[in-house]
Structure 1
Amino acid sequence: MTLTFRDDSMIIPMILGILSLAIGVILAMMALYMIRGHMEVLSWPEVSAEILEVGLYHTPHDKDSSLAYSVRVRYAYSYGGRRYSGTQVSFDVGSDNVGTYHHRIYNELRHFRDSGLPFRCYVNPSDPSEAVLYRDLRREKVRGLLVTALIFGVPGLLLVVLWMRRRKKRKREKLMHRYPVPLPSVTEPHRGRIITSCFGRDAARGALGFGLFCLLLFYFFCFLFLIPKAAELEDSFGRVIVYGFSGIPLIFALVFLYLGFRLSLRLSKYGDSVFEMTSDSGVIGGELSGRIRVRTVPPGSSPHLTFRCVRKRRMKSLSGEERTECGTLWEKSLVIRQEELPDRHTEGTEIPVLFPIPGHLPESDDSDPKDSICWELTAEAGSGWLKYEAEFTVPVFRILEGTPLPDEEI
């Protein structure tokens, strides 16, 4: 059996997380810049200014399809016996269409320019060449920037943290495979201990975070902007296209929120699954034995265990796309009947594991990233969307004949 899938499945979430986090940080810095400027300008002295030029600009430069506005002005003022020229209106940043702010100040400044009456401005006493005409804080824009920063920043941070933890875990697994200490017959049950490598807290948090991000994106971008714009279109086909495009974030949000809640419910019901081996690794020509500790399994179900040896080869297609081809070299399944499970209600459920390993199979080998051997143990119980599932990457090595066992654990 051969499966093919794209390599480095966390690359896309990592890129999305970094971009989303960067957007959130930039928007938060813009809001803090406006707040800092407002607090600073409150102590600046007020002087008279002469409005020389004023204009209202929109982006894009097509009056019928303007999305954002900004006011540009040039004025002259005197401070400390010297005459200066300024162009800064306020500590506002960028162009926008929030309210009627830009239209209001444009009409006001145009009135003072046409009438020749003096207008007020606020001068930085430590640097008189810096001045502003307005010092009011645009609270609605600051709130919008901070809310949008949270919408982008929080899911981005969650995705980055998830990627970093996943990367750290992979490095730890590679070190474990590369520097093994195989002991074939040690009866101490806690020497080899592996926590399940799938359906964990990171996956649940990542799915919930990305689903929430898509939901907020749908609300603030599609529901408040695209859908009202679509209602103004006269072409019915164009409205259908816009409505369909607006529904994409909602579909992604529902799918990832469903997956996140499903994984969270599984985690809350079953907890972390831990595979405790009776030795540090499985032994080629010997066996893999141990027990899987889990909080509970579905009542009346018989756990189904599968142990397989998988060869992973990293290859490039004709188009240059890199993929990993997985081929199963050996596989064995085992069903544990309900009456065979130890009855320990206070400590949870223990699933016994015992698989003989043929002597002709290769051992775990991760020295070549393009051609590696790994051994996987999977456990399933029950059925439905809340069935129990766990997967472990197990170290399996060949013990050379005559290899002495250490007298004590190092």
Structure 2
Amino acid sequence: MTTIKTISSKLGASLFALVFVIGFGAGGLFGGVLPMSRQVQGWWRADELVAVLARVDQLRMDEHRGKSKTLRVVAEFVYQYNGRTYRSNRINIAGDGSDNIGSYHQDTYARLQQARDSQQKVTLWLDPQEPEFAVYDKTLRLSLFLFLIPFATLFPAVSLGALWALWAIWCKADKEETQSAVAVTPGQQLAGAQSYAAGRLELQADNSGALGLGLFALFWNLLSFPIAGVVLLQDQQGSQWGWLVLVFPLAGIFLMWAAGKIALARWRLGKVSLSLTQQPYTGIDNLAVRLHIEPGLGLRLQTASTHYPVQIQVQCVHEDRRGEDTTTKTLWAQELGERHVVHGAQSLDFSISLPADMPISGILEHKEVEVIWKLQIKVLDAELSFKLPVRQGMGGQVNARDVLEQQYPREPINLFGFPRTPEGTKQQTRNWFWAYGIFFVLIAITAFAIFNSASEDSTQQRSTQQRSTDQAQTLAQTETFAQLKARLATGADVNAGDAEGRSLLMQAVDEVSLEKVRYLLEQGAKVDLATPVDADGHGGRTAVFAAIDHDAVEIVQALADADADLRRPSNKVWTPVHYAAYKGALKSLRYLHQRGLAIDEVFNGGRGSTPLMVAAQYNQLPAIAFLLQAGADRSKKDLYGEDACGYARFFKQEAAAKALDCQ
């Protein structure tokens, strides 16, 4: 009958296990499995998408502060497909969330800001079957994918383990460990605790530990490999210290190799059991023992031998499992010498004798303190350990404490608290570095292939975007100079604009046609016409900005000679000098400086940045060098107190920071 105390203890243990089931289960599901499945689903869908040009309509960077700062790019794109206009706010194909893994959000925001400020279109990837679905980045975020692996694997594993514990608390039968100290006379057999077959005592070997070591190695690798991958991917500088993180995956590979080696050795040996003719007791002489091997010694080896060495040892040990470390002390041990067994043998007979002045098997004053008799056998690189249920013989009972005092006199107190190495333990020290070295190389090659594939996808995306932009520009260059003159001769408006609001003059500038520009100016084209400004303040691009975009200094000069306003900002964001610094248009920047434009001017829109700050943000090294040579003040600060070095550091432009001599 279950007592109230047992029920209350089960309820307490069940609540504790339930917390792990729900907590780790929910964390693994929403923090790992679902985000990781979206990554895989998005990667699988990416090949079906087609490119379409889109305008960046809205853009901002959201910052969330909790235990750590996380970022998220929020954008809205406007695009057309099959004559209809659509809007999309998807950045990454796997879904958009807030995180601080690498510089993905900062880099994406910088690219989109550059496209929006320069009024250039970006490439979206659209599903032809579902035109409402369009995404800016269709590549797999490898660092985020690696980061999610522990959450998608370890957390559910802990939840399942807690669920099993919950089942075991209520459904698994309680095991009561009973120790019997009944004296056994010679020839008498023990009834009950051990299994018997044909009048003999059958013993099974202890577990090899390969499964436990393998599970630990699996958990270790599920943590160490993703963490190492994330660290190395974020280590953009290639620091030599970053490679130290590989020590942990190497340790995991070694653990996995050790577990596999133990499991392989046991499999090669086959099924092994031990039979004794009677119950072992202290003081017994020549107890007959038989080792059974199925299917036969050496039959599972690829390279067989005529005979195999077998090493046998009998031990009586005192094991203290209290605390973090297990202390094992050998009270008595006897080597039986090396025996040789022929190939294919299914049994090995030998005998053992046990001293009378040793304690019997069993738990002592604490459940974690025990005397254990072991029969240890080493054959075919496999180590077998059989626990012998040694009982009291004809002589008097021996106290384990007395034997310990004789074998291991009390040691002086360790004033410095240094841990002492447990005695009587044996460890395998053979190192097959080539085995796990080859395994690591295979894993490294696989990781490199995945990363290289992701990089190729990103490169392909940028190439497709560039090709789409080039195609759009090619369409605008269909009209020849003769056709332009003929059209204007028929009375066409010289200031007419296209669908985007670009005047004929601006179109000629985009074609980098000085001949057309001069002709249009002669025909009375308005030099300062600008594209429309939308509700969000985007637009306002003039012919001067178009000329700077191509660094066509002759056209800039022609526009300036036609009284173009070289100080007029574009949509209250860019001034011509800022735009030249942003584009790295060195010839245009030098010409504007020669025309007397201030090299340190600020604009009212945005953050109040100077041209030097803009050049640092976009890593325009020639522009930085020229601005500094022209006397730009690199210590000047914007509205938020940041100088040019602050811009270089925030946008991780190391070359720009070096050019500015930032400390």
Structure-1-length-normalised TM-score: 0.54
Alignment match, 1:69: 71
Match of 2:363 among 338, 362, 366: 366
- Does structure 1 retain, via aligned residues, the 8 Å contact 2:312–2:337? yes
- Does structure 2 retain, via aligned residues, the 8 Å contact 1:31–1:146? yes
Matched, 1:240 2:240: yes
Alignment match, 2:347: 350
3-state DSSP of counterpart to 1:283: coil
Alignment match, 1:202: 211
**Structure 2 counterpart of 1:27, which letter?**
G
Alignment match, 1:395: 389
CA–CA distance in 1 between the matches of 2:265 and 2:160?
Answer: 22
| C-alpha distance 273-394 of structure 1, shift in aligned 2 (>3 A) | same
Q: Per-residue displacement from partner, 1:260-308 (whole Å, max 9, x unpaired)?
A: 33223313322343333334x5222336543333352575333111111
Please list, as runs of the form range in 1=range in 2, the aligned pairs for 1:85-124 lying within 5 A after superposition. 92-95=96-99, 96=101, 97-98=103-104, 103=109
Match of 2:229 among 220, 228, 236: 220
- Does structure 1 retain, via aligned residues, the 8 Å contact 2:32–2:150? no
Alignment match, 1:263: 262
- Report how far residue 147 of structure 1 moved: 6.0
- In structure 1, stretches of 5+ residues that fail to align are 1-17, 37-52, 74-88, 112-132, 232-238, 317-321, 402-410
CA–CA distance in 2 between the matches of 1:161 and 1:306?
Answer: 41
Q: Per-residue displacement from partner, 1:8-55 (whole Å, max 9, x unpaired)?
A: xxxxxxxxxx9999975531144569999xxxxxxxxxxxxxxxx974
CA–CA distance in 1 between the matches of 2:378 and 2:158?
Answer: 28
Match of 1:376 among 365, 369, 374: 374
CA–CA distance in 1 between the matches of 2:313 and 2:259?
Answer: 26
| C-alpha distance 146-175 of structure 1, shift in aligned 2 (>3 A) | farther
Q: Per-residue displacement from partner, 1:52-103 (whole Å, max 9, x unpaired)?
A: x974145889xxxx99521479xxxxxxxxxxxxxxx997443255478962
CA–CA distance in 1 between the matches of 2:280 and 2:137?
Answer: 66
- Report how far residue 363 of structure 1 moved: 1.2
- Report how far residue 255 of structure 1 moved: 1.8
- Does structure 1 retain, via aligned residues, the 8 Å contact 2:60–2:74? yes
- Does structure 2 retain, via aligned residues, the 8 Å contact 1:282–1:289? no
Please list, as runs of the form range in 1=range in 2, the aligned pairs for 1:112-261 lying within 5 A after superposition. 148-150=147-149, 153-154=152-153, 178=179, 184-185=188-189, 188=197, 192-203=201-212, 205-206=214-215, 209-210=218-219, 212-213=221-222, 216-217=225-226, 220-226=229-235, 228-229=236-237, 231=238, 239-243=239-243, 245-261=244-260
CA–CA distance in 2 between the matches of 1:23 and 1:218?
Answer: 18
Q: Which has the higher strand share?
A: 1
Alignment match, 2:282: 284
Q: Per-residue displacement from partner, 1:145-178 (whole Å, max 9, x unpaired)?
A: 666544565477789999999xx9xx99x95663
CA–CA distance in 2 between the matches of 1:178 and 1:266?
Answer: 33
- Does structure 2 retain, via aligned residues, the 8 Å contact 1:58–1:67? yes
- Does structure 1 retain, via aligned residues, the 8 Å contact 2:283–2:394? no
- In structure 2, stretches of 5+ residues that fail to align are 1-20, 42-57, 76-90, 118-131, 191-195, 299-304, 396-663
3-state DSSP of counterpart to 1:258: helix
- Does structure 2 retain, via aligned residues, the 8 Å contact 1:159–1:206? no
**Structure 1 counterpart of 2:359, which letter?**
P
Alignment match, 2:591: none
- Report how far residue 373 of structure 1 moved: 0.9
Structure-2-length-normalised TM-score: 0.36
Percent identity, aligned pairs only, is 13
- Report how far residue 332 of structure 1 moved: 1.4
3-state DSSP of counterpart to 1:306: strand
**Structure 2 counterpart of 1:380, which letter?**
K
3-state DSSP of counterpart to 1:310: strand
Q: Per-residue displacement from partner, 1:124-147 (whole Å, max 9, x unpaired)?
A: xxxxxxxxx999798756987666
Alignment match, 1:302: 309
CA–CA distance in 1 between the matches of 2:146 and 2:60?
Answer: 30
Please list, as runs of the form range in 1=range in 2, the aligned pairs for 1:24-35 lying within 5 A after superposition. 24-25=28-29, 26-31=31-36
- Report how far residue 188 of structure 1 moved: 3.8
CA–CA distance in 1 between the matches of 2:142 and 2:199?
Answer: 54
CA–CA distance in 2 between the matches of 1:22 and 1:299?
Answer: 58
- Does structure 2 retain, via aligned residues, the 8 Å contact 1:311–1:372? yes
| C-alpha distance 362-180 of structure 1, shift in aligned 2 (>3 A) | closer
| C-alpha distance 211-71 of structure 1, shift in aligned 2 (>3 A) | closer
CA–CA distance in 2 between the matches of 1:148 and 1:308?
Answer: 48
- Does structure 2 retain, via aligned residues, the 8 Å contact 1:184–1:283? no
CA-based RMSD of the aligned residues comes to 5.6
CA–CA distance in 2 between the matches of 1:219 and 1:253?
Answer: 12
CA–CA distance in 1 between the matches of 2:257 and 2:325?
Answer: 28
| C-alpha distance 54-137 of structure 1, shift in aligned 2 (>3 A) | closer
CA–CA distance in 1 between the matches of 2:379 and 2:40?
Answer: 56
Structure with the larger RCO, 1 or 2 (CA within 8 Å, 6+ apart): 1
- Does structure 2 retain, via aligned residues, the 8 Å contact 1:378–1:390? yes
- Does structure 2 retain, via aligned residues, the 8 Å contact 1:24–1:149? no
- Does structure 2 retain, via aligned residues, the 8 Å contact 1:378–1:391? yes
Please list, as runs of the form range in 1=range in 2, the aligned pairs for 1:4-43 lying within 5 A after superposition. 24-25=28-29, 26-31=31-36
